[in-house]
Amino acid sequence: MTMFHFFNCAILTFGPHAVYYSATPLSEYDTLGTSVKAALVYLGTALVKLVCLATFLQVSENDGFDPYQELLKALIGFIDVAGLYFALTQLTHRNISQNHKFQAVGLGWAFADSVLHRLAPLWVGARGLEFTWDYILQGLEANANLVLSISLAALGSLIWLRKNKPKTLIPIIYACAGIVATMPSITSYLRRGLGWHFPKVVGFELFTSLVMAFISWQLFSACQRPYV
Amino acid sequence: MVLSKNSGGHRGMQESMYSVIALVFILVACVELCDAAAAIDVYRLIQYDMSGSAYGSRFAVLNHHAAALHFPPGADLSRAVLIIPLRELNITFVREYINQKKPLGGLLFLLPDIFSFENGGNKQVHEKEKLKNLLAELEQLLIHANIPYPVYFAFENDEIDTVLADIKKNDAIGQPATATTGGYKLVIPTPEPKKVASPTITNIQGWLSGLKVDGDTNQLPTIAIVASYDTFGAAPALSVGSDSNGSGVVALLEIARLFSLLYSNPKTRGRYNLLFGLTSGGPYNYNGTQKWLRSFDQRLRESIDYAICLNSIGSWDNELWIHVSKPPENAYIKQIFEGFSNVAEELHIKVGLKHKKINISNPRVAWEHEQFSRLRVTAATLSEISTAPELLQGTGGLFDSRQFVNETAITRGVKLVAESLARHIYGHQGKNVQIFADGGSLAVNPAYIQSWLDLLSQTPRVAPFLSKNDPFVMALQKELADHTDEVNMQHEVLEGVFTFYDSTSARLNIYQVASVTFDLLLLLVLGSYLIVLFSFLVITTRGLDDLISLFRRPPSRKVKTA
């Protein structure tokens, strides 16, 4: 049963990425190369973040919420945004429309994030005899992360790739991008500072990811509309 | 330029792919980490053969679901481990299970903390005596039964208490734990038990020479003081035998210390040699004592005036017994008994004399002095026990822990023996002389007794599991060497009737497991979630027609030529 449980949690964690790729027109336009490149950029970003964290962060003895440390972590988190910028703008992509570009980049980004952060604990832990809900919750978290990554990629492509945007929407775009980018800090604050349990945090992540996805979808389609 | 960039990118990608594959291999090779709900130390029931018949628990590996008492009647327990706390033990139930050979996956007994020698300490517990008697009864039942499944003992602690409460709750709902309904799984990964090859028994003797007057060529008479130091119990890793015979060993060491003080000065050295013997193999019809005596020189054996054997003098109030095998009318016996009675009267102790004839054809040796008597040496055993114990009974089992031993009892016993011996040695019989008076330099040292008793109460001493160079045996040898002139160790092999098997303690892992049905349900839910997600994405991005077209077979494109 334990391999069975591992298999279940694995399809929960990685299944949606595969489903997203095959269900949307991404598979038709063969944007796998883009996704793979985005995944590699994520790996590079993760390495840079690791080095910065190791250099600047102090290890705290207790598990409490230290505002200064969290601020530092948030700042380092912006390296994520820089990485996404690099992936969206600097890499050469085949001739794919912007619509699909951000989806492919977001997908690759989220897939790399899941593999890096969730595959190892899953392999080591879910195969054991002991049963916990953690791995299922982790899988749900991966789903929320996928949605968030795609939203962030959408907003990023709006900010950096689209030159003509309606003036009124610009501050909203930046605000939403800011919120999505700081999601990790927000969740860690909830977990450490307010002491929320893992299921609650995952629920919050799912909810906000759906909300942000909806908002960015609206923004994106608003910017698509040709305006006078 | 684009081409070179592409090839460069390809190479980079290849390298990272290799590192990823390498990482994957490392992870696959990782040993499954143990992530149990609880992990506790458990101690196995002894497994031994006696005269070819098998006794004790014959298996060690455990990998079954846990169940508690009050399981639903008719439930199949052949793949379940029953967890029984001692407080809730119903001995008739266990006896019925064992005698009727009902199939069971395993047994785990939970003992209250007071029997633990690590933190037993001085806790006051309700109904200590009742638990002690219950445990003694359980032990006797388990030792003499042949049990074809693993039996383990563990001490109660918070973790296992919560686990047990959880199991009881699940049982109350009416769901016995099987492979499909989840629950707790108990796993003990230990190798199969093997025979202990050539178990050794080590006898330690200390010799204190008496004062030899110049010109006297005769051998000085000898008095022997003997105690057996090994134990036998249901769980060999827990058999510390504080009373049987830790109290005897402690008393012997203290008597040795007192007489070494007396004998250190030639002016106070007596005209008797003193021979102190710490023998092993006590529970097995005093096999070690027999081998020890057989190894003596004939002259030495004949020079022994008498021997006093000490057996369980740690938990008595006012009455001690002297057991003899020669009839009480015998002059020597009378002398010994009178000496002891006189001292006992002064110390307000009542001493009784018990006579048990020995039957040479019967191999059963109930008291240590019987081994002496079989070789025609006068001997007696001083004990708080009034009736002769059966084979493997009263040999320091699970219930015999530090809690139930009283240092003052041992102190008084030491005084009794020491005074009686001294009066005999120095010829002060009948006189009211206190050689080892309290407060003097020769007073019995309660701190010494207590520290040695504490050490003995933390050392399991089942002889087949004590190697030749065991630190405890070395410690006894060193201590005796401090108090005597000459110390000898005799190593023998415990052959013959008994065979022992190892694997006496292990680590139990308790896992909380989910059932197969749970995972099947989860698979169903996930499958439908992914299908819904797929359809949702197809509909929103490509349109409903595309979704329907996925399921319709593409129409044949054969163009019929007219």
pLDDT digits (tens, 9 = 90+) for A101-120: 888 888 888 899 899 988 88
Q: Which residue has the higher pLDDT, B533 or A70?
A: B533
Check pLDDT > 90 for residue B279: yes
Give the model's confidence band at B249: pLDDT under 50 very low, under 70 low, under 90 confident, else very high. Answer: very high
Q: Give the model's pLDDT for residue A62.
A: 63
Least reliable range by pLDDT among A5-9, B66-70, B285-289: B66-70
Amino acid at B358: I
Q: Which residue has the higher pLDDT, A99 or B331?
A: B331
Give the model's confidence band at A154: pLDDT under 50 very low, under 70 low, under 90 confident, else very high. Answer: confident
Q: What is the DSSP letter of B561?
A: P
Contact A24 B537 (CB under 8 A): yes
Q: What is the DSSP letter of B462?
A: B
Collect all residues of chain B within an 8 Å Cβ-Cβ radius of residue A23.
Answer: 533-538, 541
Question: How many beta-carbon pairs under 8 angstroms link A with B?
Answer: 84
Check pLDDT > 70 for residue A130: yes
| Cβ-proximal residues to B223 (8 Å cutoff; 6+ apart), any chain | B272, B273, B274, B275, B304, B305, B306, B307, B308, B421, B424, B425
Residues B206-215 have a mean pLDDT of: 85
Is-contact B448 B479, C-beta < 8 A?
Answer: no
Q: Give the model's pLDDT for residue A93.
A: 64
By the CB < 8 Å criterion, does A184 face chain B? Answer: no
Check pLDDT > 70 for residue B60: yes
**What value does the CA radius of gyration of chain B take, rounded to a whole number of Å?**
34
Is-contact A79 A50, C-beta < 8 A?
Answer: no
Which among B286, B94, B68 is positioned nearest to B172, based on CA atoms? B68
Q: Give the model's pLDDT for residue B30.
A: 44
Give the model's confidence band at B22: pLDDT under 50 very low, under 70 low, under 90 confident, else very high. Answer: low
Contact B541 A128 (CB under 8 A): no
Residue B418 CB coordination number (10 Å): 23
Contact A23 B541 (CB under 8 A): yes
The three-point CA angle B357-B359-B361 to 5° equals: 175
Contact B16 A43 (CB under 8 A): yes
pLDDT digits (tens, 9 = 90+) for A42-92: 898 888 888 888 887 766 666 566 777 777 777 777 788 888 787 777 766
Give the model's confidence band at B1: pLDDT under 50 very low, under 70 low, under 90 confident, else very high. Answer: very low
Collect all residues of chain B within an 8 Å Cβ-Cβ radius of residue A40.
Answer: 12-13, 16
Residues A7-14 have a mean pLDDT of: 90
Is-contact B58 B520, C-beta < 8 A?
Answer: no
Q: Give the model's pLDDT for residue B178.
A: 55
Partner B, chain A 3-32, Cβ-Cβ below 8 Å: 4-5, 7-8, 11-12, 15-16, 19-20, 22-25
Which among B224, B232, B234, B223 is positioned nearest to B201, based on CA atoms? B232
Residue B390 CB coordination number (10 Å): 11
Collect all residues of chain A within an 8 Å Cβ-Cβ radius of residue B184.
Answer: none
d(CA B90, CA B138): 10
- Annotate B171-213 with DSSP letters as a single string: HHHT----TTS-EEEEEE--PPP-B-SS-EEEEEEEEE--PPP
Check pLDDT > 60 for residue B561: no
Q: Which residue has the tokens 């980079």?
A: B12
d(CA A197, CA A202): 9
β-sheet bridge partners, residue B321: B352, B383
Contact B513 A11 (CB under 8 A): no
- Annotate B488-552 with DSSP letters as a single string: EEEEEE--SSEEEB---EEEEEEEEE--HHHHHHHHHHHHHHHHHHHHHHHHHHT-HHHHHHHHS
Collect all residues of chain A within an 8 Å Cβ-Cβ radius of residue B166.
Answer: none
Residue A117 burial (10 A CB sphere; 0-12, 13-18, 19+): middle
Check pLDDT > 70 for residue B123: no
Q: Which residue has the higher pLDDT, B174 or B424?
A: B424
Residue among B27, B187, B538 minimizing CB distance to A123: B27
Give percent of chain A with pLDDT exceeding 90. 4
Bridge pairing between strands B200-208 and B222-228: unpaired
Least reliable range by pLDDT among A140-144, B258-262, B311-315, B396-400: B396-400
CA–chain centroid gap for A128, Å, is: 28
Here the ipTM equals 0.85
Q: Give the model's pLDDT for residue A187.
A: 82
C-alpha separations of A206 from A1, A148, A209, B274, B559 in Å:
28, 9, 5, 85, 52
Which among A209, A185, A201 is positioned nearest to A80, based on CA atoms? A185
Could you give phi then psi for residue B197, rounded to 5 degrees? -80, 130
d(CA A50, CA A58): 13
Could you give phi then psi for residue B468, rounded to 5 degrees? -60, -40
Rounded to a whole number of angstroms, the distance from the CA of B538 to the nearest CA of chain A is 5
Which among A92, A147, A74 is positioned nearest to A114, based on CA atoms? A147
Collect all residues of chain B within an 8 Å Cβ-Cβ radius of residue A124.
Answer: 27, 30, 32-33
The three-point CA angle B481-B271-B435 to 5° equals: 80
How large is the angle between the packed helices B331-346 and B407-426, nearest 10 degrees? 130
Give the model's confidence band at B32: pLDDT under 50 very low, under 70 low, under 90 confident, else very high. Answer: very low
| Cβ-proximal residues to A97 (8 Å cutoff; 6+ apart), any chain | none
Average pLDDT of chain B is 85
Contact B33 A125 (CB under 8 A): yes
By the CB < 8 Å criterion, does A124 face chain B? Answer: yes
**pTM of structure:** 0.77
Q: Give the model's pLDDT for residue B197.
A: 86
d(CA B221, CA B549): 113
